[in-house]
């Protein structure tokens, strides 16, 4: 993926892309078994490397949590308010 917003992209464009990705993820989860292995290709070139769907979903959850933590640090640097 890319790490910057193009000049011609709006907030609504980015939000639409996020929601579309969520719908595609939901479709995959609804149609697959959590213990199914990923398709081969890209990072996963052999069946020994292929993760299960549950592993992929847990990894995505970890990434969201990590990024939420980053945003919390930025907010704390802006307003000085810290959590418990």
**pLDDT tens column, 58-83:** 999 999 999 999 988 999 999 988 87
Domain residues for 50?
11-79
Which pLDDT band, with edges at 50, 70 and 90, does 57 fall under? very high
Please answer whether residues 17 and 6 qualify as being in contact, where contact means their C-beta atoms are separated by less than 8 angstroms. Answer: no
6 part of a folded domain: no
4 part of a folded domain: no
2 part of a folded domain: no
Please answer whether residues 50 and 62 qualify as being in contact, where contact means their C-beta atoms are separated by less than 8 angstroms. Answer: no
Work out how many domains the chain is built from and give that number: 1
84 part of a folded domain: no
pLDDT digits (tens, 9 = 90+) for 16-34: 999 999 999 999 999 999 9
Q: How far apart are CA 4 and CA 15, in angstroms?
A: 14
């Amino acid at each position: 993926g890319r790490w910057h917003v193009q000049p011609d992209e709006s907030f609504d464009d980015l939000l639409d892309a996020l929601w579309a990705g969520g719908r595609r993820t939901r479709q995959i989860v609804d149609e697959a078994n959590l213990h199914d292995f990923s398709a081969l290709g890209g990072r996963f070139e052999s069946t020994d490397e292929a993760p299960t769907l549950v592993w992929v979903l847990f990894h995505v959850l970890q990434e969201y949590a990590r990024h939420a933590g980053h945003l919390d640090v930025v907010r704390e640097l802006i307003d000085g308010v810290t959590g418990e």
